[in-house]
Amino acid sequence: MSKRVSLKDIANKVGVSTALVSYVLNGLEKEKRVGPEVVKRIREVAGDLNYKPNQIARSLRKGSTNTIGLIVADIANPFFGQLARIVEDEAGKHNYTVIIGSSDENCVKSASLIETFLDRQVDGFIIVPSEGCNQEIESLVNKEIPVVLVDRFLPELSTSYIVLDNFGATYEAVTHLVAKGYKNIALIAYKSSLVHMQERIRGYSEAMKDNHLEQAIQIKELSYNRVKEEIEEGVSKLFDGNNKPDAMIFSTNALSISGLYALKNHKIRVPDDMAIIGFDGNEAFDFFYSPLTFIEQPIEEMGKESVRVLLDQIKGSKENVQIELNHRLILRESTGG
């Protein structure tokens, strides 16, 4: 393996001190009053020798690594995969590298990822917080480590966050279904105390009440780690009851996919037997025989804003920026055209 080119190698070839080479390669030539001919020669020799700066040493000098730690719930979920890509691309425009990990909605794994990223001296965090993980994030806040929450926030903590208007999203979904003539509307959600899920449930419930359908409220809450098993059971119970739903809202992308499988297994036709509204688009839905009406989250804006707010914090801003973004209801055939 070839020997790594050092500042001393460049200095010896040019005939100057290593300090002078360091000034030039770190962009300090004007401040240190290095002559233009010397600057030109140092850069030419550095290029000829294929000099690669030691990023670890440079980071220690700068007190910054130009890296961001991104923790999502599940990178395999298309929503979080797309969010991660947007964050990565946006950070790259500012010369930042993103390290990504999945918490699997597990606090132990989330805490382990945070420790690992801290060991790698990331400059800040963008986190999709998991249920019950307040302590780890509070510790980052108390240590004044820049952190931005995305998709969800923790009301007990004073942090920056970028989220959706979750209440308004499900409220509009119910309102649309009622306008189309549906009255027995069910909601499939996760069992979770996280505010984004509770706001989606509240939006559904308030819309049902405002349309005088409180007697028809049906909410099935499923465990995150047992969705495939529980959604089959949940759909069966809904259709075995006296108040069979004529429409269903799935409160996440993953629930939409599992729910469509369950409806297919029960030979329920969409929209003839059941109208469907999902959360987030998915390429898989384009191959479904009845294209899905869905609540669209502004994922690109969510990703870009989280990077912008975090970089402001890294640069020294102490302001907590809390942004709630608007949704769009994309109307397609699964609610009757």
pLDDT, greater one: 256 or 203:
203
Do 27 and 170 lie in one domain? The reply is no
11: in domain: yes
**Are 289 and 179 contained in the same domain?**
yes
Q: Please check whether residues 176 and 280 belong to one and the same domain.
A: yes
Classify residue 231: in a domain, yes or no. yes
Q: Supply the mean pLDDT for the chain.
A: 88
Q: Are residues 30 and 115 in the same domain?
A: no
Domain count within the chain: 3
CA distances from 92 to 8, 88, 100, 136 (A): 31, 6, 14, 27
- pLDDT value at residue 239: 77
Q: Where are the alpha helices (DSSP H) in 93-226?
A: 107-119, 134-142, 166-179, 195-210
pLDDT score at 60: 45
Q: pLDDT over 90 for what percent of the chain?
A: 54
pLDDT-derived band at 287 (thresholds 50, 70, 90) equals low
Task: Quote the CA–CA distance of 273 and 267 in Å, as a whole number.
Answer: 9
Q: Are residues 171 and 270 in the same domain?
A: yes
Do 281 and 236 reside in the same domain of the chain? yes
Q: What is the mean pLDDT of residues 90-116?
A: 93
pTM exceeding 0.85 = no
- Dist CA 205 CA 195 (whole Å): 15
The answer, yes or no, to whether the previous bond of 271 is cis (omega within 30 of 0) is: yes
**Mean pLDDT throughout 254-265?**
86
pLDDT in the model for residue 227:
79
pLDDT at 1: 44
Tell me the per-residue pLDDT of 212-243, one tens digit each, with 9 for 90 and over: 999 999 999 998 888 778 888 877 777 776 77
Rg (CA), the chain: 26
| Model pLDDT for residues 292-311, shown as the tens digit of each residue | 899 999 999 999 999 999 99
How far is 188 from 129, CA to CA, in rounded Å?
21
Asked if residues 311 and 294 have their Cβ atoms less than 8 Å apart, the reply is: no
Answer whether residue 116 is part of any domain. Answer: yes
pLDDT digits (tens, 9 = 90+) for 148-191: 999 999 999 999 999 999 999 999 999 999 999 999 999 999 99
59 within a domain of the structure (yes/no):
no
Enclosing domain of residue 225 = 166-298+330-335
In this prediction, residue 208 carries a pLDDT of 97
292: nearest Cα among 243, 333, 260: 333
What's the confidence (pLDDT) of residue 188? Answer: 94
Q: Are strands 293-296 and 328-330 parallel, antiparallel or unpaired?
A: antiparallel
Considering the domain architecture, whether residues 213 and 177 belong to the same structural domain is answered as yes
Q: Mean pLDDT, to the nearest integer, of 282-296? A: 80
* pLDDT at residue 291 is higher than 60: yes
Domain match, 47 and 71 both: no
Query: What is the 3-class SS of 262-314, one letter each residue?
Result: HHHHCCCCCCCCCEEEEECCCHHHHHCCCCCEEEECCHHHHHHHHHHHHHHHH
273 exposure class (CB count in 10 Å sphere: 0-12, 13-18, 19+): middle
pLDDT of residue 5: 78
Residues 233 and 115 placed together within one structural domain of the fold? no
- CATH number of the domain where residue 18 is located: 1.10.260
Grade residue 263 by pLDDT with cuts at 50, 70 and 90. confident
Same domain, 115 and 35: no
| Residue 295, beta-bridge partner list | 279, 329
Q: Is residue 2 domain-resident?
A: no
Please tell me the predicted confidence (pLDDT) of residue 63: 57
CATH (domain of 81): 3.40.50.2300
Kindly report which listed range (70-79, 283-292, 326-335) carries the lowest average pLDDT score.
283-292
Residues 188 and 309 placed together within one structural domain of the fold = no
Whether the Cβ atoms of residue 137 and residue 157 lie closer than 8 Å to each other: yes
The rounded distance, in Å, linking the Cα atoms of 88 and 209 is 42
Question: Would you state the pLDDT for residue 210?
Answer: 97
197 has pLDDT over 70: yes
The residues pairing with 222 across neighbouring beta strands, listed in sequence order, are 190
Asked if the structure places residue 60 within a domain, the reply is: no
pLDDT tens column, 50-96: 877 665 455 544 557 899 999 999 998 889 999 999 999 999 999 99
Note whether residue 1 is domain-resident: no
Q: What residues have CB less than 8 Å from 108, skipping those under 6 apart?
A: none
Question: Is 58 part of any domain?
Answer: no
The reply to whether 294 and 191 lie within a common domain is yes
Confidence of residue 261 (pLDDT cuts 50, 70, 90): confident
